[in-house]
Amino acid sequence: MRCVCSLAVAWIGVTAVLIEPAKADFLSGDDWFAAPPPGTHDATVLYFTGADLWRKGGSAYGGAVWSPGGLNRDGFTLKALLAGGDYLYRSSAAEIRGADLVASILPGYRLKRGDFEIKMFAGLDIQHHWTLPFDPSNRLRGTHAGARFNIDMWWEPLPARMMMAATLTGSTIDRNYGIRAAAGWRMFDRFWLGPEIETSGDRTYRQYRAGAHLTSLQFGGFEWALSAGYVRDNDSRSGMYGRFSLLARR
């Protein structure tokens, strides 16, 4: 998975050069690509990067969220995402390695009412896929353009003590989708800890996950989220997965 490791290192390097360390107030969200930081800091840009790995594939991603009125205020927001990864699958009797690059520009809106917050995005999704060896039966080969949507929700039924979060994302390209739900409890006033479940897939592939997440950990001047657990897909392959994300604002 050389391309995944290279992308992860590149995005972490870019993030470290361009951004300031995150402030001490904690982030209140944990969607796949970004988390919304509450508080009084008047930052307008949130940078994010991360990686996701399991034994049959992985991905790395990075990007930014721009809210001209402030990250903590209702109103227009814009997310830019670049992601890439590789994966293994079987075609006839051969094992094929696939790889992809994804770029999305997603204008949206943030709305917060009390301890509930929702962010809604929709926009352009561009993907490029290739395989090694060449697989003529893979209809995703080449470059495709479509539409993507992303909905992120965060709720604290017990403010600063218990959280619940959900993320829904999808693309018109091969009907790709992802759904994640998580709950957590505030531990030592330092981070959120709790269970997560997730499913993702497209027209022909399904993957299911169950694990635990640690969110909003302050370390090294940045904001970290970590998760790990068990994964299984509709090809009867299974194993462990791990994921991390790194966030900062300016």
Break the chain into its structural domains and give their ranges: 2-249
Whether pLDDT at 92 is above 80: no
Least confident of 54-63, 86-95, 155-164: 86-95
Proportion of the chain above pLDDT 90, given as a percent: 67
Average pLDDT over residues 92-102: 87
CATH number of 2-249: 2.40.160.40
Whether pLDDT at 102 is above 80: yes
Whether pLDDT at 6 is above 80: no
Q: Whole-model pTM?
A: 0.81
pLDDT for 41: 56
> Which residues are bridge partners to 115 per DSSP?
none
